[in-house]
């Protein structure tokens, strides 16, 4: 196992995602800089899985900067839609990244599929982290959280599809939770990880540091 990097580029141009990754990386004591701060171009995501796209983004940032890079490829997978929007979750928001539009698009697709009851509205959030070095070495960590799609959207916290996702065992959507509640975990806590991203980070921490 390589030493954990003391400086990491967050290979994302999504402000909400960068904010959450910063919060989760902070307890690890490394210096964090984002792709936006370094004015890095966004690579074309040509992969067919979360893992492939995470690798593309992390390697592009690591090779462009000469330092380790961490990417996150994540999305919403809805059972009644055959796993869509999946890796194309951001594309459902259009060129303007309008997630109010994306949420309506998902709801309209669910209505067209006749998915009106909770058992027909099952979904999961998936996050895959890729930590990459300039020499091409990569390591992957995956997290998932199961839940149900709700309508209308509830809450203004978080970002993306958070207001329409109700995680199992909870009475509030991710959009109604603070970042701390949504993660459910931070290194040193005894709480279980809740969000897909927090679960992926917990796996990363356990792999490097042997504890969570």
Q: Is the pLDDT of residue 133 over 80?
A: yes
CATH numeric code, 7-209:
3.90.950.10
Q: Where are the domains of the chain?
A: 7-209
CB-CB neighbours of 156 under 10 Å? 10
Contact 113, 158 (CB under 8 A): no
Asked if pLDDT for residue 171 goes beyond 60, the answer is: yes
Q: What percentage of the chain carries pLDDT values higher than 90?
A: 79
Write down the residue that tokens 């990097």 correspond to.
Answer: 5
Report whether pLDDT(131) > 80: yes
Mean pLDDT of the region 198-202: 93
- Distance of alpha carbon 73 from alpha carbon 166, whole angstroms: 21
Q: Looking at the predicted structure, is the pLDDT value of residue 27 above 90?
A: no
Q: What is the mean pLDDT of residues 20-31?
A: 88
Work out the average pLDDT over 75-89.
98
Give the mean pLDDT of 139-160.
Answer: 96
- With a cut of 90, say whether residue 189 has pLDDT above it: no
pLDDT at 16: 85
Query: Given this model, what pLDDT does residue 212 score?
Result: 54
Longest dimension (CA), the chain: 51
Q: Give the ranges where 35-123 is alpha helix by DSSP (H).
A: 50-65, 99-112
Average pLDDT, the chain: 94
Catalytic residue numbers, as ranges: 73
Instruction: Identify the helix (H) or strand (E) that includes residue 140.
Output: strand 138-149
Residue 189, CA distances (Å) to 32, 129, 193 in order: 22, 21, 9
DSSP bridge pairs for 165 = 149
Q: pTM here?
A: 0.94
Q: Specify the residue for token string 């990491």.
A: 8
């Amino acid at each position: 196992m390589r030493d954990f990097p003391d400086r990491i580029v967050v290979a994302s141009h999504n402000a909400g995602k960068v904010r959450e990754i910063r919060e989760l990386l902070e307890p690890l004591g490394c210096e964090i800089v984002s792709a936006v701060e370094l004015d890095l171009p966004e690579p074309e995501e040509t992969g067919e899985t979360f893992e492939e796209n995470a690798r593309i983004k992390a390697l592009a940032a690591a090779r462009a900067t000469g330092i380790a890079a961490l990417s996150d490829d994540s999305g919403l997978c809805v059972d009644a839609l055959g796993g869509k929007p999946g890796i194309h979750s951001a594309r459902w928001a259009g060129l303007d990244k309008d997630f109010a539009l994306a949420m309506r698009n998902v709801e309209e697709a669910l209505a067209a599929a006749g998915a009106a009851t909770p058992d027909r509205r099952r979904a999961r959030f998936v996050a895959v982290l890729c930590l990459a070095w300039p020499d091409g070495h990569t390591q992957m960590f995956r997290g998932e959280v199961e839940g149900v799609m709700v309508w209308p959207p509830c809450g203004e916290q978080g970002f993306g599809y958070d207001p329409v996702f109700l995680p199992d065992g909870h009475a509030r959507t991710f959009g109604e939770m603070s970042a701390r509640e949504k993660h459910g975990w931070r290194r040193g806590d005894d709480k279980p990880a809740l969000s897909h991203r927090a679960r992926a980070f917990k796996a990363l921490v356990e792999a490097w540091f042997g504890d969570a």
